[in-house]
Amino acid sequence: MTHFTNKVAVVTGAGSGIGRALSVELARRGARLAICDVDTHGLAETEALVKAAGADVKADHLDVSQRELVLAYADDVAEHFGVVNLVFNNAGIAFTGNVEEMSFKDLDRVMDVDFWGVVSGTKAFLPHLVASGDGHVVNISSVFGLFSVPTQSAYNAAKFAVRGFTESLRQEMIINKRPVKVTCVHPGGIKTNIARNGEQVEGRDHDKLASSFDKMARTTPEKAAEVILAGVEKNKARVLIGADAWILDKFVRLTGPGYQRAVSSFSRRSGL
């Protein structure tokens, strides 16, 4: 028996990266899985891996930015399994560009997926998690939910907002004695396709951005999944992933707003 045996876990953005690694690790630990993604090909690959690990799995195409679809999906998952215990609001996208270069459409797109997708997933599943008597909301923010960097204003805004929303929810669940735990996750650089799949304003070199990310990302998605599940088992309020996340978190807390000078000077020198 593990902490996750027989529990029903929902993973958004399960077709790649952290979402896939979480799904496979949850399957290995005996969970039943509802996995979803906009990438049907990636989702089918994850479904096969999860089945090979012996899990009962329901796989669906879902765009988390479509609120009505997320609400219907939550009811569908609850009806299918009879209960929902965990939701991992993990789906996310990257976008690079200065505020002056970005259109409102660019900003909206990032907020719709990275912030509103998390809010919709949380709100849609919350009644089912409460009804389970043993629920857990796990929202994936980022180290970029702890400090800001140039060219990432939209992503920074979304990830700070996920952190604020999630930390408030955790306190409400405690005050209102709801049987739902809440964890906010802040990964450092994880070796996934997020930068390669990401978009940018015109004139920015996609391949350069992606290969710089590949050089900086040190932690595997499998390790990230292990750290997240250990944090969930311990009901941690905040989970940091990777030495980079720990070091940057400490640096930002020590320097206060002064971190901005160091980060912008690094960005200028590295051309990022």
Cβ 17 to ligand NAP shortest distance, Å: 2
Cβ 179 to ligand NAP shortest distance, Å: 26
Neighbours of 223 (CB within 10 A): 15
Q: For ligand NAP, which stretch binds (CB under 6 A), given 58-66, 121-129, 200-208, 249-257?
A: 58-66
Report if residue 12 touches ligand NAP, rule: CB under 6 A: yes
The gap between the terminal CA atoms of the chain, to the nearest Å, is 47
- Amino acid residing at 91: A
* 25: nearest Cα among 188, 191, 181, 230: 230
CA distances from 217 to 74, 117, 132 (A): 33, 24, 37
* 144: nearest Cα among 162, 127, 132: 162
Report if residue 194 touches ligand NAP, rule: CB under 6 A: yes
Identity of the residue, 31 or 217, whose beta carbon is nearer to ligand NAP in the bound complex: 217
Q: Which of 120, 192, 225, 259 binds ligand NAP (CB under 6 A)?
A: 192
Cβ 202 to ligand NAP shortest distance, Å: 20
Catalytic center residues = 155
Q: Which residues contact 150 (CB under 8 A, 6 or more apart)?
A: 98, 263, 264, 267, 272
Report if residue 225 touches ligand NAP, rule: CB under 6 A: no
Identity of the residue, 53 or 194, whose beta carbon is nearer to ligand NAP in the bound complex: 194
Report if residue 17 touches ligand NAP, rule: CB under 6 A: yes
Identity of the residue, 132 or 190, whose beta carbon is nearer to ligand NAP in the bound complex: 190
Q: Which residues contact 192 (CB under 8 A, 6 or more apart)?
A: 16, 17, 18, 217, 221
Report if residue 190 touches ligand NAP, rule: CB under 6 A: yes
Joined together, the tokens standing for residue 224 give 């990230």
**Interacting residues with ligand NAP (CB under 6 A):** 12-13, 15-19, 37-39, 42, 62-65, 90-93, 113, 117, 140, 142, 187, 189-190, 192-194, 197, 217
